[in-house]
Structure 1
């Protein structure tokens, strides 16, 4: 089931197919994917459908863990379930907005920094070409190249200013450009955070619709949250490549541990308050 879902969410690019073949030990498929025909037709950039999957997965992970931890603390303190709805929703949207803003500023700052460094490198290439050429030479000399091979490579790189500048960005500064949009990234983070983070609140919000649900709100929330945690953790395979069931179990463990700590703190505080009021 998860493999079918993943194939819909993540377009199978040549590198993705090669990665699958490597994990399976499928040498024949791996060789076919590295044929001149396959390499020549491969687009060397992220697809529009897949570039924001990372933000969606991690936003959802944070959303569900944050909300369920808050609810667990309230349950541990034996407070009115209505408080869980109020605190949960307030926490959900406040943290969601905070995460989205943080994601936007982080992405934008990184892009601004890369743009500035690229402009600086271009200026240096235009005004101090010999010094910049020497830097390229030194970079590849340290990688083990020498003699005619080194000279030919340096000449090839410095014959094109765009390649020259990109080489300096990558090799000297360790910077890599991407075409993600900071605003889109922030929106994806916010929506995934809110949607996944709402899951633990379902049992509380709709408790009035079912007597069984009303009598077992926290238990129902635990079950819904556990399923969502496993699902979101499994989706991390899209980003990390880890096996879906391992990602699901790991996420379930981390989320469960956070909730257990929050529940315990709430329970302890409730006991302390109870003792001090006697």
Structure 2
């Protein structure tokens, strides 16, 4: 099931297929994927579908852990389920907006920085070409190239301004451009945060529909959250490549630990401060 879902979420790019072949020890498939025809077909960029998987997975992870920790603290303090709904929803949307804004500003700031550095490198190439050429030579000299090979490479790179600028960005500054849209990234982060973060609240919001649910709201929330945590953790395979069940149990452990700490703090404060049961 998870493998099918992952294949739908992320297209099977050549590097991804090569990675799978490497893990399986499939030399024939690996050779085929490195044939001239296959290499020539490679688009060399992320697809629109796969660009924002990271934001979606990590946004969902933060959303569910944040909301469930808040609910656990309220349950530990023996406060009214209504408070869990109010605090949970307020916390969910406030943190979701904050996280989305932070993601947008971070992405935009990075793009602005890259743009300014690219403009500076282009200006230097146009006004100080010999100095910039010397920098390229020094970069590859430190990598071990010498003699004619070094000179041919320097000449090839500096014969094209776009390649020259990109080389300076990559090799001198360690900068790599990304065509991710900051606004789309922020929206996806917000939606994934809110959708996943809403899961722990389901048992509380729909408690009036079932007497059993009403009598076991926190327990039901724990079960729903555990299942969602495992699912979101398993989806991390898309980003990290870790095995889905390992990612699922890791996320379940981290989320569960956060909830236990929040519950214990709520319980302890209720004992110390004598918070009335509202």
Normalised by the size of structure 2, how large is the TM-score?
A: 0.98
Q: Which residue number in structure 2 is paired with residue 58 of structure 1?
A: 58
Q: Which residue number in structure 2 is paired with residue 22 of structure 1?
A: 22
Moved more, 65-74 or 267-276: 267-276
Distance (whole Å) between structure 2 residues aligned to residue 172 and residue 226 of structure 1: 46
- Gap runs ≥5 in structure 2: none
Distance (whole Å) between structure 2 residues aligned to residue 275 and residue 175 of structure 1: 53
For residue 111 of structure 2, give the secondary structure of its aligned residue in structure 1. Answer: helix
Asked if 1:206 is matched to 2:206, the reply is yes
Q: Which residue number in structure 2 is paired with residue 2 of structure 1?
A: 2
Q: Which residue number in structure 1 is paired with residue 135 of structure 2?
A: 135
Following superposition, the deviation at residue 24 of structure 1 comes to: 1.1
Distance (whole Å) between structure 2 residues aligned to residue 99 and residue 263 of structure 1: 24
Runs of 4+ in 1 over 2 A off after TM superposition: none
Deviation string 1:141-169 (CA, Å, 9 cap, x unpaired) is 11111111100100000010000000000
Asked if 1:83 is matched to 2:96, the reply is no
Q: How many pairs were matched up?
A: 276
Normalised by the size of structure 1, how large is the TM-score?
A: 0.98
Distance (whole Å) between structure 2 residues aligned to residue 136 and residue 28 of structure 1: 38
Distance (whole Å) between structure 2 residues aligned to residue 23 and residue 195 of structure 1: 33
Asked if 1:176 is matched to 2:176, the reply is yes
Distance (whole Å) between structure 1 residues aligned to residue 274 and residue 41 of structure 2: 70
Q: Which residue number in structure 1 is paired with residue 36 of structure 2?
A: 36
Asked if 1:95 is matched to 2:69, the reply is no
- Gap runs ≥5 in structure 1: none
Distance (whole Å) between structure 2 residues aligned to residue 8 and residue 85 of structure 1: 34
Deviation string 1:203-255 (CA, Å, 9 cap, x unpaired) is 00000000000000000000000000000000000000000000000000000
Following superposition, the deviation at residue 25 of structure 1 comes to: 1.1
Distance (whole Å) between structure 1 residues aligned to residue 6 and residue 25 of structure 2: 20
Give the conservation status (yes or no) of the 8 Å contact 2:77–2:275. Answer: no
Distance (whole Å) between structure 2 residues aligned to residue 63 and residue 219 of structure 1: 19
Deviation string 1:21-75 (CA, Å, 9 cap, x unpaired) is 1111111111100000000011010000000000000000000000000000000
Distance (whole Å) between structure 2 residues aligned to residue 275 and residue 242 of structure 1: 44
Distance (whole Å) between structure 2 residues aligned to residue 247 and residue 25 of structure 1: 23
Distance (whole Å) between structure 2 residues aligned to residue 148 and residue 255 of structure 1: 57
